[in-house]
């Protein structure tokens, strides 16, 4: 059953006003005349508005539904990992990559000139490699390592 079918089947005095738009009695208050507006979006989501002032959460609960049931299921395979939000914009990632690459270059040049790195420099180089790997994982959508 689609979200709109699920909603409309739970309401009283449903009238279609135009394609994708209905009115009905609001189940969240003692409604004598239809004060609830119901719309179906092009992607199959259901929008509700009670002109008497009932909140959407109260209307949905009065129908015995939960808010997520107003939306069609996403095409995500069962058990698929949740996509983590990106922490950096593309510009920030490139700026960080350039900075870390410069540090790696300076470290390599130092070693090529026969000098040794201090413990602090070695630790910072390890941190640079870690940051570059993080950026690689972010750019290919591999999540956080």
pLDDT tens track, the chain, 145 positions? 899 999 999 999 999 999 999 999 999 999 888 999 999 988 889 999 999 999 998 999 999 999 889 998 877 667 766 655 566 677 778 888 888 899 899 999 999 999 999 999 998 888 888 888 888 777 765 444 3
**The dihedral sign for the CA sequence 40, 43, 44, 50:** negative
Residue in 11, 69, 67, 72 with CA at minimum distance from that of residue 38 = 11
* Neighbouring residues of 84: CB distance < 8 A, sequence distance ≥ 6: 143, 144
**Start-to-end Cα distance in the chain:** 40
Residues 6+ apart with CB under 8 A from 64: 10
Alpha-carbon distance 117 to 103, whole Å?
A: 12
The span from the CA of 72 to the CA of 43, in Å, is 8
């Amino acid at each position: 059953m689609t979200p709109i079918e699920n909603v409309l089947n739970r309401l009283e005095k449903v009238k279609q006003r135009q394609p994708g738009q209905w009115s009905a009695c609001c189940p969240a208050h003692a409604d004598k005349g239809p004060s609830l507006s119901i719309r179906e979006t092009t992607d199959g989501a259901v929008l509700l508005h009670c002109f008497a002032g009932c909140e959407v959460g109260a209307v949905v609960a009065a129908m015995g539904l939960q808010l997520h049931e107003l939306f069609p299921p996403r095409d995500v395979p069962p058990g698929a990992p949740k996509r983590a939000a990106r922490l950096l914009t593309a510009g920030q990632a490139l700026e960080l990559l350039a900075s870390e690459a410069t540090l790696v270059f300076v470290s390599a040049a130092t070693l090529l000139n026969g000098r040794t790195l201090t413990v602090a420099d070695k630790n910072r180089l390890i941190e640079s490699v870690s940051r570059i790997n993080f950026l690689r994982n972010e750019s290919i959508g591999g999540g956080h390592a």
